[in-house]
Amino acid sequence: MKIRGESMKKTPKNFVILSILSFLIMLSTLSFFIPIASAAYTVESTPVGVALCIASGMFGISGGYGIARTGSAAISALVEKPETFVKSFMIVVLSEAVTIYGLLLGIFAYLSL
């Protein structure tokens, strides 16, 4: 039987793992297409745009997953112990910050094409 506290303890760990994986995928994708990006803005820069979309999408997916998991855990913790609200809220805010960071990174990388 699964205890309620166990899932809340594992949620930040899963979020951190998913965020790190999405960041590594973004770095590997961008580093693969850097030689193409160094050329002039031509048809060859299309794969770079696709890589940027995939990287930004991974940030969005990981942030959405983190918000979904930590948000429900934060609400259940708030119902059981109201004094844990600030800690739970900070975890949800961090997952939103990862999503916004990925969006800004995608926009800035697109503008540098």
**1 — pLDDT class (breaks 50, 70, 90):** very low
CA-based nearest residue to 50, from 62, 64, 63, 33 = 33
CA angle 10, 89, 17 (to 5 degrees): 35
Query: So what's the pLDDT on residue 110?
Result: 77
* Spatial separation of the C-alpha atoms in residues 111 and 113, rounded to whole Å: 5
- 45-101 pLDDT, tens digit each: 677 777 888 888 888 888 888 888 888 888 888 888 988 888 888 888 988 888 888
Q: What is the CA radius of gyration of the chain?
A: 18
pLDDT above 60: residue 10: yes
* Spatial separation of the C-alpha atoms in residues 40 and 52, rounded to whole Å: 17
- 23-37 pLDDT, tens digit each: 888 777 777 766 665
pLDDT above 70: residue 16: yes
